[in-house]
A and B are shown apart, each in its own frame.
Chain A
């Protein structure tokens, strides 16, 4: 059976939403000393849960034998996060706009929209060996001089 695997900058989880809190704890713990404000840290944490939820549900179709891998790179002036699944890939452009009048009250379909709103840069790559790789970037703002 698959399980959680952690290294210094990477966590890999089985495709089950119950593990989202483990990913969030990992990400917030690793990023709290980067200089991100509380609000920016929340933006990153929310965005990671969006990307991981997509990877679990739409990528790996909640198959717990498939893993979702989250990798952090703190490279001043950026925090870069990759989320990789083992699924068949999906077209993020095919998701209808959640702010269109007919979609506002839908229960789902806002994840990518929120992710793109909160992060400075987001890129989706479809890997030739299968799966989707989402790259998200948040710029670290220079510390204010006192």
Chain B
């Protein structure tokens, strides 16, 4: 997984690319979210458009991110959830936990 981010009107948009399967992937996302919190940036969107697939470790990373942000009075939302990830979120019932949006713009807008 490769990870990049941008600041869109005060909302941090994290854009992972590739496959999220564990190993170094877990700490990379965790460290980036903690850096945002330390900088007082507590509105985060994860843009999943370029993620080929993720396994249960990837889902754990998303849950960890969500709880980390909420524990810091922040919020984490998902954008551009692909069909494959959507089906994993559905079978694991995590679809009920995450706010998902069709685009980054919509996710950013939802914070207002």
Contacts and interface: CB of A to CB of B under 8 A. Distances in A.
Given A46-B53, A50-B55, A110-B59, A21 B93 contact: no
Contacts of B52: 42
The SS class assigned to the A binding surface is helix
Interface residues of B, number: 25
The SS class assigned to the B binding surface is helix
Nearest to A46: B55
Contact of B22 (A53, A99, A104): A53
Contact of B53 (A20, A42, A99, A109): A42
A108 B84 CA distance: 19
Interface residue range, chain A? 20 to 34
B60 A49 contact: no
B22 A20 contact: yes
Interface of B: 19, 21-24, 52-57, 59-60, 63-64, 67, 83-84, 88, 91-94, 96-97
Interface of A: 17-21, 24, 39, 42, 45-46, 49-50, 53, 98-99, 104-111, 113-114, 117
